[in-house]
């Protein structure tokens, strides 16, 4: 027969804090915390519900926990009707260590139909670099695309890009 030590509210709070985020705490969920305290020999009447509430109020758990319980959202299908009519562009970087020529960024464009990739490396990716890349690597080689898709980065979403797209 196993005897469990019954604890009061104050002691229960200290135990939950230690088990959840103490020196050997693993930021466990409520059920795991309750099981761990039972194995350690502690008990109080509302232990499991208190552990659930404690884990739910933990700021770090809310920010960094897996998003398993987040409801799924529908994906938007993006299809291109013909080759080189729709390009996705983005910047990769800052790359460490930098290349031998001092470049730390790679600017990439991918055609949605053929999956063809155009890429160039740069020391800095500015508005002028983006516009120049699109003119020289996309428009001059493949014609004017019907769409250019970006992630709205500041160097991709600016006046120069708007002027280029008109």
Per-residue pLDDT band at 119 (split at 50, 70, 90): very high
* Residue 141 pLDDT exceeds 80: yes
DSSP character string of the chain: ----EE--HHHHHHHHHHHHHSTT-----HHHHHHHHHHHTEE-TTHHHHHHHHHHH-HHHHHHS--TTSPP-PPPP---SSTTSEEEEEEEE--SSPPTTS--EEEEEEETTT--EEEEEESS--HHHHHHHIIIIIIHHH---SEEE----TTTSSHHHHHHH-
- Residues of the chain with pLDDT > 90: what percent? 13
- Min mean pLDDT across 45-49, 68-72, 100-104, 156-160 is at 68-72
Among the listed residues 27, 44, 155, the one whose alpha carbon sits nearest the alpha carbon of residue 91: 155
What is the reported pLDDT for 116? Answer: 94
In the chain, where are the structural domains located? 5-64, 86-165
* Residue 118 pLDDT exceeds 90: yes
Task: Look at the pTM and tell me if it is higher than 0.75.
Answer: no
Cα separation, 16 vs 50, whole angstroms = 9
Average pLDDT in the 60-65 region?
Answer: 78
What is the reported pLDDT for 114? Answer: 92
Cα separation, 45 vs 34, whole angstroms = 11
Per-residue pLDDT band at 127 (split at 50, 70, 90): confident
CATH H superfamily, domain 86-165: Ribonuclease H-like superfamily/Ribonuclease H (3.30.420.10)
């Amino acid at each position: 027969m196993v005897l469990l030590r019954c604890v009061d509210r104050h002691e229960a709070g200290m135990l939950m804090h230690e088990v959840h985020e103490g020196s050997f705490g693993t930021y466990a969920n409520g059920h795991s915390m309750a099981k761990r305290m039972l194995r350690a020999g502690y008990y109080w009447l509302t232990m499991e519900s208190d552990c659930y509430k404690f884990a739910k109020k933990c700021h770090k758990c809310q920010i960094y926990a897996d998003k398993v319980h987040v409801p799924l959202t529908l994906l938007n299908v993006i299809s291109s009707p013909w080759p080189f009519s729709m390009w996705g562009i983005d910047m990769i970087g800052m790359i460490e260590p930098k290349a031998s020529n001092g470049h730390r960024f790679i600017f990439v464009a991918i055609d949605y139909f053929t999956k063809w990739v155009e890429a160039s490396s740069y020391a800095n990716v500015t508005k002028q670099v983006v516009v120049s890349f699109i003119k020289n690597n996309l428009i001059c080689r493949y014609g004017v695309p019907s769409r250019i898709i970006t992630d709205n980065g500041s160097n991709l979403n600016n006046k120069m890009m708007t002027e280029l797209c008109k």
